[in-house]
């Protein structure tokens, strides 16, 4: 079995120290675990930051001041060698929610005084006992909707506080059989190959059946939503997405890995595409926009069964001249 125990334990130690520290100590904690030239990639408006103090000041301190008594509620935890650099680097992945009492404003979003969940997924590259790169993607529109705002027109699929895997086996603190990770990575790569061409000659549903289980669940971001079964996924996301965009670029990933029955990837951006109008109720554009995406998958047998998706929709639409975050900060809560 591949052994990523050292890297996993280091990230678990970071989380434990960060989660129990005072908000003002976030920079000090991060500095113990990250290199001085650590690169952190986050969604709009945080974007790319360098160094522990910058990450703490820009992201962690304001968030923890807003979400009081924050808990990290992990659903998936895994590690693996990165296919994109020839399996030379090791990355540790955590996915779940940051939950707290939304007691102070964050990013102009008015507090509710109630529980709130921030969906997140984080990839950490570990080299020589330190974290050198991080991609932490999170669903800000999902938090807006919990606060009574409507950042987008009615979505095609369902808005939910999303659960973890149906099988409840996503927290892989221990090593997993190598052959299971290889099967998962092969299934993900086959899906990527089909997705990248958009012209298989098959119906969309039959194309999806090549790599997806019939009862698949696609846990999409707020603004698109979650959808269940191949038929509804084709109707409620994949079909509208393909119809709403053109000039899709080739897929580019910084990291792609798998461990056991789980795997995933991220890019910065993953690809670009130009909206032709209609998708998410938005107009057409002559300008291609960037899609910053994390995808996490669960494999069942030879097919992909569940998929959790993080898309920086605030960044994408801001490139099209629509500043969702600024617009929502000015709207009173319903």
pLDDT for the residue 329: 78
Residue closest to 249 by CA, chosen among 274, 279, 272: 272
Edge-to-edge strand list for the sheet holding 130-138: 48-50, 34-42, 130-138, 115-127, 90-102, 67-81
Task: List, for residues 11-38, the tens digit of each pLDDT value.
Answer: 999 999 999 998 889 999 999 999 999 9
Interatomic CA distance for residues 249 and 267, integer angstroms: 13
Residues in the chain, overall count: 334
Residue 112 three-state SS: coil
% pLDDT > 90, the chain: 86
Question: What's the start-to-end Cα distance of the chain, in Å?
Answer: 52
CATH of 178-329, one of 1.10.10.60, 3.10.450.50, 3.40.50.1100, 3.20.20.10: 3.10.450.50
Task: List, for residues 76-126, the tens digit of each pLDDT value.
Answer: 999 999 999 999 999 999 999 999 999 999 999 999 999 999 999 999 999
Looking at the chain, the domain(s) classified CATH 3.10.450.50 span: 5-146, 178-329
pLDDT for the residue 228: 97
CA 138 to chain centre: 6
Task: List, for residues 39-62, the tens digit of each pLDDT value.
Answer: 999 999 999 999 999 999 999 999
pLDDT at 257 over 90: yes
Interatomic CA distance for residues 22 and 255, integer angstroms: 32
pLDDT at 328 over 90: no
| CATH class of the structural domain 5-146 | alpha beta
């Amino acid at each position: 079995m591949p052994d990523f125990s050292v890297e996993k334990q280091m990230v678990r130690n970071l989380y434990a120290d960060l989660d129990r520290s005072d908000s003002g100590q976030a920079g000090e904690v991060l500095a113990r675990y990250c290199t001085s030239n650590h690169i952190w990639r986050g969604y709009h408006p945080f974007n790319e930051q360098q160094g522990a103090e910058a990450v703490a000041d820009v992201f962690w301190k304001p968030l923890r001041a807003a979400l009081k008594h924050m808990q990290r509620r992990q659903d998936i935890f895994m590690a693996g060698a990165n296919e994109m650099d020839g399996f030379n680097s090791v990355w540790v992945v955590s996915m779940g929610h940051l939950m707290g009492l939304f007691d102070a404003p964050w990013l102009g979003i008015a507090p509710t005084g109630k529980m709130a969940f921030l969906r997140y997924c984080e990839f950490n590259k570990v080299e020589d006992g330190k974290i050198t790169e991080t991609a932490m993607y999170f669903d800000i529109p999902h938090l807006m909707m919990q606060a009574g705002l409507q950042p987008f027109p009615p979505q095609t699929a369902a808005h939910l506080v999303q659960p973890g895997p149906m099988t409840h086996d996503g927290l892989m603190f221990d090593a997993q059989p190598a052959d299971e990770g290889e099967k998962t990575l092969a299934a993900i790569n086959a899906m990527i190959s089909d997705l990248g061409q958009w012209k298989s000659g098959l119906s969309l549903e039959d194309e999806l059946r090549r790599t997806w289980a019939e009862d698949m669940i696609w846990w999409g971001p707020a603004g698109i939503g979650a959808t269940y079964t191949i038929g509804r996924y084709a109707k409620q996301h994949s079909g509208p997405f393909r119809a709403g965009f053109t000039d899709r670029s080739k897929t580019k990933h910084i990291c792609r890995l798998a461990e056991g029955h789980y795997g995933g990837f991220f890019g910065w951006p993953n690809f670009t595409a130009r909206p032709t109008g209609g998708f998410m109720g938005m107009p057409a554009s002559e300008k291609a926009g960037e899609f910053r995406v994390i995808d996490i998958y669960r494999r069942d047998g030879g097919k992909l069964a569940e998929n959790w998706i993080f898309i920086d929709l605030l960044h994408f639409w801001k490139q099209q001249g629509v500043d969702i975050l600024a617009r929502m900060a000015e709207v009173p809560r319903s």
